[in-house]
Each structure stands twice: as structure tokens, then as C-alpha cells.
Amino acid sequence: MLAYIIRRLGYAIPILLGVNLLTFALFFVVNTPDQMARVQLGDKHVSEEAIEQWKAQRGYDKPLMFNTEAGGLGLVTDTIFYEKSLSLFAFDFGKSDEGRNIGSDIQQRMWPSLMVALPTFIIGIAVNIAFSLFVVMFRASVFDTAAMVLCVVLMSISGVFYVIGGQFFFAKLWHLVPISGYLTGPDAIRFLILPVIIGVISGIGGGTRLYRTLFLEESGKDYVRTARAKGVPELTVLFRHILPNGLIPILTSVVVVIPSLFMGSLLVESFFGIPGLGSYTLDAIQAQDFAIVRSMVFLGSVLYILGLLLTDISYTLVDPRVRLS
């Protein structure tokens, strides 16, 4: 097991290197430091000195990938790629264009993101499983068909509309919760209710439909038929046989997103003014602060790869037949 995990983490290195190369190519080769300086300084007629100064301050005045002037290791290390991209491997995110430390920003902003994403994730799964079990109980009936049509309808509504609609009805019209904002401590709950509810509702359509298929697949298997033939009541079949076995594919399929919960949601956080990583990223995109975007891309990739690893481990935990090799 431990050997497997270590080997998998080793596989992650070339992938992360690829991610870095790709983002580096996107950010620096297509969009040179000169252009970045021009955009940041915000003037078409900036003097050359101002650009040079801007670049020197932020360490963009080095060659991109190979420094032919520096000898020895400096050939590779004294370059923008090494300093800006490879240092990410040590989780050294450097400074944003405004001069703030990205690493400490991330540490600070990760908690509000988690406060929204974690309840949404857990409640969402619970609600979806409950709904899909309910639908499976009435399978092949009018109720089943109606529920599935409703799911497709819910899936066809853009996430933006859930947020807009929720804010409009719950906050503006009925004054149940504040429209947006965030507080630390116990007061945060008032601000978190709406984003969590909206997050859960917007996922119901797709989630219920997927889980229903998984449960239906399980309910067609031989052991379920045997249980019914033995005269086991339908409810017991559902909760004792179908549910535990149906949970296996559900759990293994959701594990991959758990680490990424830290990243938060761009949409929800910016609409509700929650100072998490999602809104951090969005602000950076809008301010064209590539240092932050690059760090977030790297962080997102690391968390995704971690999620893949967790998925594999979860297979062995829930299903003893699976062996990692």
C-alpha cells in the first residue's frame, strides 16, 4: 500500500511538470513579460525604463528557459521558468503583482472556501442519495418518469440562474438572509445558508439522475432478485441490499473532488462576496494578475492528482476484492 502510494506520487511529478510547462507557455511565451508590464502599468506609451523597472522588481528580467550567460547550473536555474514555475513544487508561490505573499493569502482564504464547499458537498450527496433512493422505490411508475423529467429540467438551468434566483427570492424579496457578505465566527452561518442551499439545489438534477442509474443497475442484479424471492420486504431490500452496494460506485466517484473543495467555487463565492479562494482567483483573472492564476492552477492540479490517488485508495477500502499493485 505505502509503496503504491509513493509510486503514484512519483507519477504525479511528470504530470505537474507538464502542467507547469503548459501554463508557462500560456503565460510567458504567448504573453511576454514586456506585454504584461504594459498591461499592468496600464499605459500604451510607457517608457522603456518603466517596463524594465517593473520587470526587474518582479524578477521577470531573466531569460525564459535557458540562461546562456550564466554558467553551470545557472543555465537552467537563473531563468523565469525555474524561478516562477518550478518553485511552485516547494509550494513557494512567491508574490502577487501587488506585492502580497500569495502563500499566506491562500492559507487565509482557504477557510471561507471550505466553509461553503464542505457543507454543500456533504448535504448535496445526502440529498441526492435520498432523492434517488426514493425514485428507485417507485421505479417504472409515473412518479419515476415525472421525477426524471424534473431532473432534466433542473439540469437545463444554468448555475448562474440558481444563484440569481436564490439571491432575489430569499434575500431581496423575503429578507430571510443577507444578500452577500461574510463574517468569521458563529455569525458566518447567516451568510453561509443561502450559498449552501443554492449549491445543493443546483446539483440535485444531475446527481439524482446519476445515482438513480447506479441504484437501478444494482437492483437488477441476482442477489437482489434472490432476496426478493426469499420474501424479504421491499424496504429491507432497498436499504439493506441495494443501498450499501450502490454506495460503492457513488463514494468512489465523489472522492476525487474532496481535495479540490479547498479551491471553492468561482461563481458562488463571487456572487455572495465570500472571501475564499474562488473569488481570489476570479479577482486575479479580472486584474490579469498571472502570478496568482498560475499558483491557483498549480494548486488545483495538485489537489486533483491527490483526489485521483484517494479514489484508488477508496476502492480498496470499500471493496476488499480490489488490490492495489
Contacting positions for another protein (CB under 8 A)? 14-16, 18-19, 22-23, 26-27, 30-31, 35, 39, 152-153, 155-161, 164, 167-168, 172, 260, 263, 266-267, 270-271, 281-282, 285-286, 288, 290, 293, 296-297, 300-301, 304-305
Closer residue to another protein, CB minimum distance, 150 or 248: 150
Alpha-carbon span 242 to 220, nearest angstrom: 10
Closest approach, Cβ 80 to another protein, in A, equals 17
Using only C-alpha atoms, the chain has a radius of gyration, in whole angstroms, of: 25
Closest approach, Cβ 305 to another protein, in A, equals 6
Closest Cα to residue 203, out of 136, 145, 268?
268
Say whether 193 sits in a helix, a strand or coil. Answer: helix
What secondary structure does DSSP assign to 26-89, as a single string? IIIISS-HHHHHHHHHT-TT--HHHHHHHHHHTT--S-SS--SSS-TTHHHHSSHIIIIIGGGG
Closer residue to another protein, CB minimum distance, 17 or 183: 17
Closest approach, Cβ 41 to another protein, in A, equals 13
Closest approach, Cβ 298 to another protein, in A, equals 9
**To 10 degrees, what angle do helices 188-219 and 142-155 make?**
130
Closest approach, Cβ 54 to another protein, in A, equals 16
Length of the chain: 325
Closer residue to another protein, CB minimum distance, 62 or 209: 209
Closest approach, Cβ 8 to another protein, in A, equals 12
Say whether 132 sits in a helix, a strand or coil. Answer: helix
**To 10 degrees, what angle do helices 102-137 and 290-318 make?**
40
Closer residue to another protein, CB minimum distance, 16 or 129: 16
Closer residue to another protein, CB minimum distance, 281 or 314: 281
